[in-house]
Amino acid sequence: MSAISTMAMQKTGKLSGYTVSCLVGLICLASMQAPAVALEYSQDNHTFEFGSRGRLANVDANTHSKAASLLLRLHVESEWSSHFSTLLEVDHVELGWKDEFSNGVHFNGNPVIPDAQGSDLNQVLIRYAPANTWQLTLGREAVNLGNQRFVGTNGFWQNQQTLDTLGFKYEFGVASHVLYRYVDNVNRINGDHAGKYLSPSDSNFVEQNGIRPASFLGDHDHNTHLVFAQFKEWDYSQIQVYYFDMDIKEAAALSNQTLGARYQFKGRWHTLRTQAHGEIALQTRTEINNNRTLSFYDIGAGVGYHSHEVSLNYQHLGASNGASFVTPLASLHEKNGWVDKFLLTPSTGLRDYSLQYIWRSSPFKLDARYHAFYSDRHNTAIGEELDMDLIFKFNRENSLLFRYAEFKTRTDSRPNEQRLFLMFTHNL
């Protein structure tokens, strides 16, 4: 795989050199397999979908931000034969109130709302399935593994995180599979315009010597291997096992090797719905001067009755000698509070104790969460957060969401912050 990696080119919204070469090779391979993969051009073999999402956002921290954004997405899937298919997805994001917030591409002193303007080739993917149980894939892909704690699209934001990948999926048993992806590049939520250098008009230009911080780059070059297996052979239980070897060129300190497993149970006890899960992962940070093994735990249980659900959860991201457990490819907005205070795990680690209440009564859903955050080292209180979603689902394609999140600090290093979102989604 290292030979493939060395062929990677600097990305500015384009597929890397190795991806283009492999795309051409796979198309040629498929065409040589005629008549088994003879191409078909019937209109019935092509699915066109259009989606959109409009959002108003308001952030109140030490200073104030507000933003308006609109996402437009065209999604095209084509079945060229019984073995050969393609996926194409093009996004465009338009912003309003541009001078009222920092968005990760440009900083103006206001809090960050990470929605970037522009057009983007969000996904372009070739799939080749030589048998019912095997699928080979190549291209730019939206990848969500498990509950997205380690690998996800960060799909709440208007510009998704996608991966330039090469890999396979093998299905077996009743509903089990094993998946492998080699990742050459990560297209991050900051977008194609978040290059290496800051604009001289940027409020961070002098402080950063004109160089964009790695955490706000639009692309990260990778030499990363993802292995994920899911076993769903039982009525009430499932097991996930994973190994991630992440080599991140522009953010080498976040490179890691992580091995873990997760167990989930969902069942019934008389009129009650019951659920529980437990997860453990061990990690080494491969590019920092720390040979300690870091740990991650996620334990939770809940019960549901009619339209109500209550659950308790505990997450532990360990730390040692100033290094903490990291998950750089996760859907981070959905983890450890919606105010995003812990996109990067503190050097002292993190303990997240949370209580969740869900109420459903069609077409409404209420999702309320309370978090209490502590450091892993010395168990020092960091802060607490209240999160709440109120969702009205008009029908299968259209929904309206109101999201409220408020973080109250117990330290001087993290200011209080309040966030409000109002979002209408169509067919996404």
E-only strand ranges, 5-117: 46-60, 64-79, 84-96
- 298 - beta bridge partners? 279, 315
What is the predicted pLDDT for the residue at 255? 95
Minimal CA–CA distance to 302: which of 338, 258, 354, 350? 354
Which of the residues in the chain have pLDDT under 70?
A: 1-42, 289
Which residues lie closer than 8 Å to 172 by C-beta, 6 or more apart? 133, 178
Which residues lie closer than 8 Å to 147 by C-beta, 6 or more apart? 262
b/e burial code for range 223-261 (CB count within 10 A of at least 16 → b): bbbbbbbbbeeeeeebebebebbbbbbbbeebbbbbbbe
What is the predicted pLDDT for the residue at 17? 54
How far, in Å, CA of 324 to CA of 149, rounded? 15
- 109 - beta bridge partners? none
Coil, strand, or helix at residue 213?
Answer: coil
What is the predicted pLDDT for the residue at 124? 97
Q: Locate 374 and state its tokens.
A: 């502590």
162-172 and 256-269 strand pairing: unpaired
Full-model pTM: 0.89
Q: Locate 100 and state its tokens.
A: 């009222």
What is the predicted pLDDT for the residue at 378? 82
What is the predicted pLDDT for the residue at 195? 93
What is the predicted pLDDT for the residue at 287? 86
What is the predicted pLDDT for the residue at 289? 67
Apex CA 335: angle with CA 427 and CA 421, to 5°? 50
Please tell me the number of Cα atoms within 13 Å of 91 on its side-chain side. 30
How far, in Å, CA of 426 to CA of 216, rounded? 28
197 by Cβ neighbours in 10 Å (0-12 / 13-18 / 19+) ranks as: exposed
Q: Locate 153 and state its tokens.
A: 């699209």
What is the predicted pLDDT for the residue at 412? 76
Which residues lie closer than 8 Å to 44 by C-beta, 6 or more apart? none
